[in-house]
Every structure is written in structure tokens, then in C-alpha cells.
Chains A and B, each alone.
Chain A
Amino acid sequence: MELLINLFVNGLSTGMLIFLLAAGLTLIFGLMSVLNFAHGGLFVWGAFSAVWVYATTGSFMLSILGAVVTGVVLGFVTEKIIITPVYGNHVQQILITLGFMLVLTEMIKVVFGPNQLAAKVPPYLDGSWEVGDVILIKYRMFIILIGFAVFGVIQFILKRTKVGLIVRAGVLNKEMVQALGINIKQVFLFTFIAGAALASLGGALMAPYSGVVYAEMGLEFGILAFIVVVIGGMGSLPGSLLAAILVGLAGSFMAYYVPALSLAVNMILMALVLIFRPQGLFAAKG
């Protein structure tokens, strides 16, 4: 029983980290129909800047803040330079964002050095609670909490505020929104920045979780996030949350019970979904 709970908590927390990455991706896709292959690059920049800030200031909160600021700045630059010229052309979008991903990954090595960096869990989140026989690792619970909180906040913004109304309307029909006098370009920019900030936040939280950060983790997690977005249905936020949890749990249980398949399970999940239900399990209704 303890084993099951531990595996469940592990899977859930990994799923939440992937969700942070996938949330931005799915919103950007839903609204702008841009598939951002550079998203993992923003994630890894968040992770490295958080580690760097934590090492220099010693404050965990500041490191999270630093990562989010990095995400906002990079998101702004990416949207302006990389995405704007290729709106509406899917093939070019795939090509150019992939190229930018390469640049982002290599830039990490220039700025922070080619070696992997160790990341520490802040002292007040280190350790674990024991509830009966079950050991709950504090940092993992913290991630799960943050994940649900972020989901709640995004859902609130989307469902209850005017900005959210515009974004949701944009997902359904962007020409109509533009015709109603709303500067859809600006909405695109802000959505993209928000997505980038979420990716960076995910990276910052990931760093202490895995203990080390390295430049190639961007591509690894980027692929996971894509898988989640595809399984959940492009443009659907609750779909992404459920799919992220599914992928996280599948990964953690498979790693324990069928280790040989653990690397492949997500790919298989995605391939099955794409073949049998290409719109995703929980496609956005529109």
C-alpha cells in the first residue's frame, strides 16, 4: 500500500511539472495555432536561471521569480523575432522553432558552461512527513500543490476575467475577435509570454526535483509536453492536466513494474491516441 501511494505521489508530481510545460504549449497552440518546438528551451532556461539565482542569493523564492522573469523576457523576444514572421505557415513554424530550440540549448552551454549543475532543495522543503507507514516527500507535495494552484489560477483567468474571455473567443474564432476591435496580435503576444513564463516556472521547480540540470533536458521535457498536449487534445487546458497526470503516473508505475517499457510507454500512448483519436482524448469543443 505504501508503495502504491509513493508511486502515485511520484507520478502525480512529475505529471504536475509536465503540466506546467504543457499548459503554455496547449494555450499557444489553441489560440495562435503555433506549435512551439522551442518550448523546452524556455523550460531549460528557467531551470538554469533558477539554479543560478539560488546559488547566488540563497533564496528559493527569488530563484522562482528569476526563472519567471527569464521566461517573460525570452517569451517576448521569441514571439517578436521567431514566431511573428511565420504566422499561418505550419511547416515553417515547425522548422523555425526547432532551430531556435537548438540555439537556446547551445546558448545554455555558453552562458552557464557545458557541464550539468547540481540543484538543491531549499531547507524548509527538504525532508519528508511520515503519515503512518507512508512517507511523503515534502518537495513533491509542494510541486503537486503548485500544479493545482496554477491550474486553478489559469482556469479562473480563462473563465472569469475579460482577458480570459478574449483568449477563449480567440481560440474559437480569431478573425471574429479581431473584427470586434480587439488587437489579437497583442493577445497572442501576452499568451505566448504567459506560456513561456509557465514553462520557465516548470523548469525552476524541476531543478531541485531532479537534483541536476543539463542543457539537453529541454528537448526531453519538450517531447513529454508535446505528448501530453496531443493526448489531452490541443487547446484544452483540463485535457492537458489530465493527460499530464496520466503520463506522470504511467511513467512512475511502469518504471517500477516494467522498467524496460518505461521509456517507451509515453510514446506508445501518444502513437495510440494519434492513430485512433487524433483530436486527443479531451479535445476542446469548438
Chain B
Amino acid sequence: MSKVLSLNKSIYLIIALALLIFPFVSDSRTWTILLTQIFIFAILAMSYDLLLGYTGIVSFGHAMFFGIGAYTTGIMLDTFAPTLLYFVLSIAVGFILAAVVSFFVGILTLRLKSHYFAMLTLALSGLFLVAAEKWRSLTYGNDGFTFRAPEIFQDRLVFYLLSLGCLIAVFIFLKRFVSSPMGHVLISVRENENRTASLGFNTLHYKVIASVAAGVIASLAGSLYAVSLRFVNTSVMTMDITLDALLMTIIGGVGTLVGPILGAGVIELAQHYLSGLARDYPIFERWIILFGILYIIAVIFFPRGIVGGIQRVFAKLSGKKVKAARPIKKSVVKS
């Protein structure tokens, strides 16, 4: 087992190093920007997976935290000064705001059953979207506003490295988080909430912590996203962001941390190439259909996504059984 682990670790290390060296070898601007985008969405998708894959709760309000991060950074850099100091400060402020909001949202919503929770988060993120549209003095509504990024990020390379660094840091943090005793409780909540509660764990407490952690990380992704575009508008609060995170997590592999990263890569790359193809074949403009169908197939037949599929193949090759972990909670109908 330890051998497999070290194999995994060395693969991650090689990939991380390759990504680190990549911009020094290739000077393709498109690729640098595309990879930066992938890193940012990978962070978002990983934070989503902490809820969906590890704790087994479906939130439709994740865009709310992404939007909080994006708006905090955008507004602070715009009103004060576009310096590195304010960028770091804005991330910190975004963390605090996201933590407070996710704490209260969690306390209010997490005691509800899955459907109600999904819908209430949908409604609350809808409220945030409306607030962002209406509070024009602060957000400029749907038109959004542009702002200047800190001088140092004018160089795409620096920002690339920063995003990669954040991705790696979040990955390591989440890896530690889910393999801590705390993470094990979350996984047992996913598997059987009633049993976990009867073992004496206050499940609400743990679910709130998971939701705060996910919210804070999503806000980091939002901050980076805002700087990468140097522009914020209400689109950062829309359902589309949540849907992106959902698609990436499900297609990549729910209940793993590599899955969402892979999913982010696959979806961003495919989006890039398919919209390129759309110039010749208009049908590719509707690439969402392709992903929707892929996603439905994944939910029904491959609930463990790409990573789960790879794990299964490897397990077959080495003749071992895959760990019997189910990524998506199977609840029994009770009526």
C-alpha cells in the first residue's frame, strides 16, 4: 500500500514540476492563460468536491462564495490601490466574508434534507445575485467594472505561477483535511448520517465546518478569477459558475481531489477547442449538450468519474479490489 502511495505522490510531483517548468519552456500566451484558467477552476471544483464528494451534500449556491471573493478583490483593488498588499488584503477580507456567510448559511440550511438544502442554497445564491445587480453603487450591476491588477501581475507568467502555487497549496491543505479525523467524520456523514449521529458526532457541526472550508476556498478561486480577467460583473454570481464546478467534479471524479482538477482541465480544454471548432461547425457552439449528456451518463454509469474509472482499471491490472467507497450517498426511500 505504501508503495502505491509513493507512486501516486511521485506522479503528482512530476506533474507539478512539469507545470512549473512549462511556461519557461513554451512561450505560448494562449496556453499560459488557458492553464491559469484551469488552475483557478480546479481550486473552485476541489472546494465543491469537499461538499459533494466528501460530505455528500449538494449545494447549488457555491457561486455565491466565488462571487464574494471576486467582488471583494475587484472592489478593493479598484477603490484603494492596485498593489500587491491590497491584493493579499482583499483575499483575506474575502476569506472572512465567505467564512461568515457560509457559517450562517450553513447553520440555517444544513439541518434540512438534501432537496430542501439544494433549493435553499439556490435561493440564497439567487438573493446574492440580485443584490449584486441592484447594489449598483458598489458593483456596477450587470455591466461590471474593470480595474487595474497589481503591477507585478501584468506579467502573465507571475500570475500563472501564483495560481499554480495556490492550486498546490489548496490541494495539500484539502488532502490533509480529508485524511484528518475531521475528514473521516465527513466521509462517514456521507455514507450514513444517522449512524454517524448515533455514534455521538454532532453532524451539523461537522457539516458547517465543511461548508465554511469550501466557501473560503471558493472565495480564493473567485479572487484569482477576478484578477485574471481584471474585470468583475454579476456573471461571477450566476448559476453557471456552480454548474461548471458541478460538471468538473462529476466528470473528473467525485470524492477524490485529483478528479476535480482533471475535470477542470478536461472541461476548460474542451470548451476552448470546441468553441474554436464552432467557427466551422456551428453545432459545436452548443458544446454544453455534449457535456450534459456526458454528465448524465457519468451520474448513472460511472458515478466515480474519470479518476474512478482509472482506479478501477489499475485495480484490475494489479488484481486488487478497489476500496469499497461510494462517492455518492445511496439513501433508501423512506415513506
Cβ contacts A to B, 7 pairs, < 8 Å: A90-B115, A91-B331, A92-B299, A95-B250, A175-B335, A234-B115, A270-B119
A267 near B119 with CB under 8 A, answer no
The residue from A35, A91, A103, A173 contacting B293, defined by CB atoms under 8 A apart: A103
Cα distance A90–B289 in the bound complex, in angstroms = 23
Chain B, Cβ-Cβ closest to A268: B127
The reply to whether B246 and A95 contact each other, CB–CB distance below 8 Å, is yes
- List the A side residues contacting B246 at CB < 8 Å: 95, 98
Task: Name the contact of A274 in the complex, choosing from B112, B295, B330 (C-beta under 8 A).
Answer: B112
In the complex, what distance in Å separates the CA atom of A102 from the CA atom of B291? 9
A158 on the B face (CB < 8 A): no
- Give the distance to chain A from B299, nearest Cβ to Cβ, in Å: 5
Contact between B127 and A267 (Cβ–Cβ < 8 Å)? yes
A109 to B250, CA, bound (A): 24
Q: B115, B119, B239, B292: which contacts A106 (Cβ < 8 A)?
A: B292
Q: How far is the CB of B50 from chain A (nearest CB, A)?
A: 15
Asked, given contacts A87-B333, A88-B333, A103-B289, whether A95 binds B58 with beta carbons under 8 Å apart, the answer is yes
Pick out which of these stretches binds chain B: A4-12, A69-77, A223-231: A223-231
A267 partner residues in chain B, CB cutoff 8 A? 123-124, 126-127, 130
- Interface of A, secondary structure class, is helix
Residues of A with C-beta under 8 A to B175: none
Cα–Cα distance between A92 and B304 once the two chains are bound (Å): 12
A110 interface residue, CB < 8 Å from B?
A: yes
Least CB distance from A266 to B in Å reads 8
B195 CB within 8 Å of chain A: no
Minimum Cβ distance to chain B for residue A82 (Å) = 7
Q: How many Å lie between the Cα of A92 and that of B295 in the bound state?
A: 11
Residue on A nearest B111 in the bound complex, by CB: A278
B333: A residues at CB distance < 8 A: 33, 87-88
> Which of the residues A86, A94, A260 comes within 8 Å of B118, measured between beta carbons?
A94
Q: Is B122's CB within 8 Å of the partner chain A?
A: yes
A106 contacts across to B, CB distance below 8 A: 286, 288-289, 292
Interface of chain B residues 238 through 297 with chain A (CB within 8 A) = 239, 243, 246, 250, 283, 285-286, 288-289, 291-293, 295-296
Question: Which of A82, A85, A90, A96 meets B114, CB within 8 Å?
Answer: A90
**Who on chain B is nearest to A102 by CB?**
B292
Contact check, A89 vs B127: say whether CB atoms are below 8 A apart.
no
Q: A95-B246, A99-B296, A110-B286 are in contact. List 7 more A-B contacts (CB 8 A).
A: A95-B250, A99-B295, A100-B296, A102-B292, A260-B134, A267-B124, A271-B127
B130 touches A264 (CB 8 A): yes
Q: Is A263's CB within 8 Å of the partner chain B?
A: yes
Residues of B within 8 A of A88 (CB): 330-333
B295 pairs with A94, CB closer than 8 A: no
Among A82, A110, A223, A271, which residue has its beta carbon within 8 angstroms of that of B289? A110
The chain A residue sitting closest to B297, CB to CB, is A99
A230: chain B residues at CB < 8 Å are 116, 119
CB-defined contacts of A173 to chain B, threshold 8 Å: 335
Q: Which residues of B contact A29 (CB under 8 A)?
A: 115
Alpha-carbon gap, A98 to B115, bound state (A) = 12
From A89, A109, A264, B330 is in contact (CB under 8 Å) with A89
The answer to whether the Cβ of B166 comes within 8 Å of any Cβ in the partner chain is no
Which one, B115, B122, B134, B329, contacts A223 given CB within 8 A? B122
Of residues 205 through 242 on chain B, the ones whose CB sits less than 8 Å from some CB of chain A are 239
CB <8 Å contact, A271 and B331 = no
**Does A120 sit within 8 A of B, measured CB to CB?**
no
**Which residues of A in the span 256-286 have a Cβ within 8 Å of any Cβ on B?**
260, 263-264, 266-268, 270-271, 274-275, 278
Kindly state whether residue B69 has any CB partner on chain A within 8 Å.
no
Closest chain B residue to A259, Cβ basis: B134
Q: How far is the CB of A257 from chain B (nearest CB, A)?
A: 16
**A98, A230, A266, A270: most-surrounded residue (chain B CB, <10 A):** A98
CB neighbours (8 Å) of B335 from chain A are 33, 172-175
Bound-state CA distance A223–B119 (Å) is: 8
Q: How far is the CA of A89 from the CA of B56 in the complex (A)?
A: 12
How many whole Å from B107's CB to the nearest CB in chain A? 10
Docked-complex contact A278 and B116, CB < 8 angstroms:
yes
Query: Is the CB of A219 closer than 8 A to any CB of chain B?
Result: yes
- Separation in Å of the B274 CB from the closest CB of chain A? 13
User: Does B91 touch A at the CB level, under 8 Å?
Assistant: no
Minimum distance in angstroms from A39 CB to a CB of chain B: 12
Residues of chain A with a CB closer than 8 A to B300's CB: 85-86, 96
Q: Among the listed B56, B292, B303, which residue makes an inter-chain contact with A99, where contact means beta carbons less than 8 Å apart?
A: B292
B172 within 8 A of A: no
Minimum Cβ distance to chain B for residue A208 (Å): 27
B182 at the interface (CB under 8 A from A): no
A117 lies within 8 A of chain B by Cβ: no
Bound form: Cα–Cα A94–B133 in Å = 28
- Complex CA–CA separation, A95 to B295 (angstroms): 9
B108: Cβ under 8 A from any A Cβ: yes
The answer to whether B42 has its CB under 8 Å from any CB of chain A is no
Question: With contacts A91-B329, A96-B299 known, is A274 near B120, CB below 8 A?
Answer: yes
Q: If A90-B331, A96-B299 touch, does A226 touch B114 (CB 8 Å cutoff)? A: no
Q: Which residue of B lies closest to A87 (CB)?
A: B333
Report whether B295 and A91 are in contact in the complex, using a CB–CB cutoff of 8 Å: no
The reply to whether B127 and A264 form a contact with Cβ atoms under 8 Å apart is yes
Whether a CB of chain A sits under 8 angstroms from the CB of B328 is yes
Whole-angstrom CA separation of A263 from B239 in the bound complex? 16
